[in-house]
Amino acid sequence: MTGSQFRRDERGNMAVLFAFGFAVSAMVSALAVDAASLYHERRVLQAGVDLAAISAAADPSRATEIAQSVLAEAQLLAPASTDGLTVLPGRYDPTEPDIADRFTPGQTPHNAVSVTLNRPGRLYFAASFAAVPTLQASGIAAVTPEVSFSVGSRLASLNGGLANAILSGLLGTTVALSVLDYTALASARVDALGFLDALATELGITVGSYDDLLVTKAGAGEIAAALAALTNGTAQSALMLLSTAGTGADVELGKLIDLGRLGGLELGSAGVADLSLSALELLSAAAVLSDGDSQVSLNLGAAVPGLVSLQLDLAIGEPLQGGGWFALGPLGTIVRTAQTRLRLRAELLGGPALRGAGVKLPLWLDLAPVEARVDAATCPTIGAPRGSATIATRPGILRLSIGEMSDASLADFGVPPSAAPVRLIDNLLLRVTGAAMVELAQTSPVRLDFSSADIAAGTMRTARTETLVASLSAALLDRVDLTVNVLGLGLSPPHLIAQAVRSLLVPLAPLLDNTLNATLSALGIGLGEADVRVYGVRCDRSVLVG
C-alpha cells in the first residue's frame, strides 16, 4: 500500500467515525429532550390526578363521575372516557400506625377517594427507536368533616320567675319575660353568621373578619338588639325590651361562639353555612359567660309549711379554654360549660320535740364543667343529606353536701368546698350537728349519636351519669349523719330529737330538687346531665393524604 492510499483510507474511517459520533450525539440529545418532556408530562398528570382526588373526596358517592370530569377538563382524558382511570372510594383512618394501611378501599362510611390514571407518554424524537412509555399517577384525598354543635342548650323556663331573676343578675340588666316570651324566644331561630353581622352593626364595626369580631366584647343589651334585628313578633318585642333595659354585662364573644376556619370569612358572609341557633339559647349562654358580676343572690321565701326562709346564692366560674358554648370544627373539637356553684340556706321552725328551736340547713352544690367532644362524623350523602356525628360527652362531676360555704369559698373555684359537719341546731339547751354528701360522676364519656334525621330535626340528646338518683336531695337527707348533744333538762331523748329533725328535713327534698333543677335549667344545664345539639356536618374541605 502506498502512502497516498493509506491516507485516503484513514480519512474515510475518520468520516465514518464522525458520522457515527454525530448520530449517537443526536440520539442522546433526542432522548434527553424526550426525558424532559416526559418528566413535565408526568408532573402535569400528577397535578390533574391530585385535583381529581380532592374534588371526588367531597362527594364519594359520585367519585368516578367527578374525577372523570376534572381530568377531562384538564385534557388528560377524552370526554366521557374512563380509559386507564381507576377510582376507589373508601375510608381513611389517620390513627392507623402503618401509613400503607390508613386507606381501605370500599370501607364505609366513605370519607376518602383514591384516583389512579395510566396513559401513554409522548415521544417527539425517540419514537422510531424507543418503546412508548406508560405514565401513571395516583392520589388519595380525604375529607375532614366539620361538625357544628353546642353543649348545655337546655331551654330555660320561668319556673315562678327564677329564670328571670337569674338572667337579670348575670346579664346586669332587667329581664322580665313572660311564659309566652320564653316560648317565642325558644322557637326563634337565627343564623350564627347573621347574628354576628347584626352584632357588628350594633358595635359600629364595618370591616374585618368574624375572628376580628370574636376577640371583642359586647354588652347584653347589644346582643339582645342584634337578635331582635333577626326576629319578629313576640320574640322581637321581648328582645327589644331587653335591649332598652341597659347595656348590661359584657360578654367575651370568643367564649360564646367558635367558628373554626369559618372565622376567617369577612363580615357580611351570612348564608355560606347553615348554622341556625335558638335565640333563647344564645341569650342564656351569653348570661352564663358574661364577665360582669358572676354571683347572684336570691331570697326564694318560704314555699312549704314550717319553712322560714330559703336563700340561694349562685356563682359561675371562668370557662375552661378550648371551646365556647357553640363550636364548628373537625374531630377533637371541644365545647365546655363553666363550673357552677350553688349555696342554699334554709331555716325551719322546730316542732314540739325541739321546744321550738329553729333548724338551719346549709347546703352547697359544686358542678364541674360539662365537656362535649366531636368523636366521629360522616359526610352528607344523597341518602343522608345532613351527614351524621357522634359526640363524646362527659357530664360534670356533681357534689351536693350539707355544709357551710363562705362568700370567699363560693367565688374561689380553685379550692374545693368544705364538707365538715355543721351545726343544724345550736342554742343553750340543744346542739345538733349533721354531715352528708352525695357525689355523681361519669368516669367515661357517653357517646351520643346524631343521625341525618336528628340533625335536620334539631334533636337534642342528653348524656346522663349512670349513677343518677331519682331525687338528689332525698338521697342526701336520707344519709345525713346527725349528732345530738342535749344540754338542758326536759328535752326528749337524743334518738327522738334526731327523728324529729329528720321529719323536718325530709319534706324539703322536693323543694330543694325543684330549686336546684330550675336554677341550673336557667343556665342551660341539668343535674348529672349534659344536653348536646348538632346543627350540621360540613365536608367541603378535602386534603391530599397519599
What residues are paired with 342 via a beta bridge?
314, 365
Per-residue pLDDT tens digits for 237-255: 989 988 887 677 888 898 8
What's residue 7's pLDDT? Answer: 47
pLDDT score of 411 more than 80: yes
Tell me what the mean pLDDT of segment 260-272 comes to: 89
Tens of pLDDT, residues 54-97: 999 988 888 999 999 999 998 999 888 889 999 999 989 888 88
**Which has the closest alpha carbon to 227: 162, 287, 273, 149?**
287
Three-class SS of 82-129: CCCEEEEEEEECCCCCCHHHCEEECCCCCCEEEEEEEEECCCCCCCCC
Q: So what's the pLDDT on residue 105?
A: 94
* Residue 28 dihedral angles phi and psi, to the nearest 5°: -60, -45
pLDDT of 50:
93
pLDDT-derived band at 156 (thresholds 50, 70, 90) equals low
pTM: 0.76
Q: Tell me the C-alpha to C-alpha distance, in Å, between residue 322 and each of 308, 341, 366, 535.
A: 44, 21, 21, 19
The tens digit of pLDDT for each residue in 96-143 reads 888 888 999 998 878 899 999 998 877 766 666 667 788 899 999 998
Is the Cα torsion angle 65, 68, 72, 73 positive or negative in sign? positive
